[in-house]
A and B are shown apart, each in its own frame.
Chain A
Amino acid sequence: DVKVTQSSRYLVKRTGEKVFLECVQDMDHENMFWYRQDPGLGLRLIYFSYDVKMKEKGDIPEGYSVSREKKERFSLILESASTNQTSMYLCASSLTQDRELFFGEGSRLTVL
């Protein structure tokens, strides 16, 4: 079974802190994605990556950056966390064909 592991289920950070959310997949998938999920807004794509060292902006990239130095790992970085970045963050991976997504368990971030 494909496993997508997100490093932290729950995080509490202060405004202005730098935040790293880590995601690792074990099935050699080319594609990796970061979404945030907020009540009433559904899933919104932040960034995605089709290959190592490649990244593409999603619908809401402002305030975020990403890093993909190895195929299995895709990191989401909040350079200076703000309260409006309090959310559930979901990482996913997929093979190119059909684009079926495999999600991690999510990281719930609270910024105080």
Chain B
Amino acid sequence: SQQGEEDPQALSIQEGENATMNCSYKTSINNLQWYRQNSGRGLVHLILIRSNEREKHSGRLRVTLDTSKKSSSLLITASRAADTASYFCATDHSGYSTLTFGKGTMLLVSP
């Protein structure tokens, strides 16, 4: 399976702390994407990083990609209660028609 694996499965932090989630995958990618899902809702695209990029920022989000280790991390700085959600990585692999999603990291940010 090409499925990415997020780590940890669940993360609980206090407001103001940073949250780091990791994603590993098995075969080479064209790009890697991160999505957020609030409870009971659809997924929302956060950020896309291409295989030739190493780091990307969007507001309080920082994504890194290490293609030699086949892994990516999502850092949310200065977390807020509103960041409570599940976060998924999705990989775009050469030769595959569609994205492959991991099972997600559930983030709980307590006030």
Q: Which residues of A are at the interface with B, using a C-beta cutoff of 8 A?
A: 4, 33, 40-43, 45, 48, 56, 58, 88, 90, 92, 98-106, 108
Q: List which B30-52 residues lie within 8 A (CB) of chain A.
A: 31, 33, 35, 40-45, 48
- In the complex, A105→B41 CA distance in Å? 5
**When the two chains form their complex, are residues A102 and B48 in contact, meaning their CB atoms are under 8 A apart?**
no
Residue of A nearest to B43 (CB): A103
Residue of A nearest to B97 (CB): A56
- In the complex, A12→B45 CA distance in Å? 29
Total number of residue pairs linking A and B with CB closer than 8 Å: 52
- In the complex, A45→B97 CA distance in Å? 11
**When the two chains form their complex, are residues A42 and B48 in contact, meaning their CB atoms are under 8 A apart?**
no
- Most chain A beta-carbon neighbours within 10 Å: one of B31, B88, B98, B104: B98
CB-CB < 8 A to A103: which residues of B?
35, 42-44
CB-CB < 8 A to A90: which residues of B?
42-43
CB-CB < 8 A to B44: which residues of A?
103
B49 to chain A, nearest CB (A): 11
Q: List which B6-48 residues lie within 8 A (CB) of chain A.
A: 31, 33, 35, 40-45, 48
Q: A40-B103, A43-B101, A48-B98 are in contact. Are A108 and B33 (CB under 8 A)?
A: no
Q: Which of A43, A88, A100 is close to B48, meaning CB atoms less than 8 Å apart?
A: A100
Shortest 7 CB-CB contacts between residues of A and residues of B? A103-B42, A42-B103, A43-B101, A103-B43, A105-B42, A106-B42, A100-B45
B75 at the binding interface (Cβ < 8 Å): no
Residue of B nearest to A44 (CB): B101
Q: A48-B98, A98-B31 are in contact. Are A41 and B45 (CB under 8 A)?
A: no
- Most chain A beta-carbon neighbours within 10 Å: one of B3, B35, B90, B99: B99
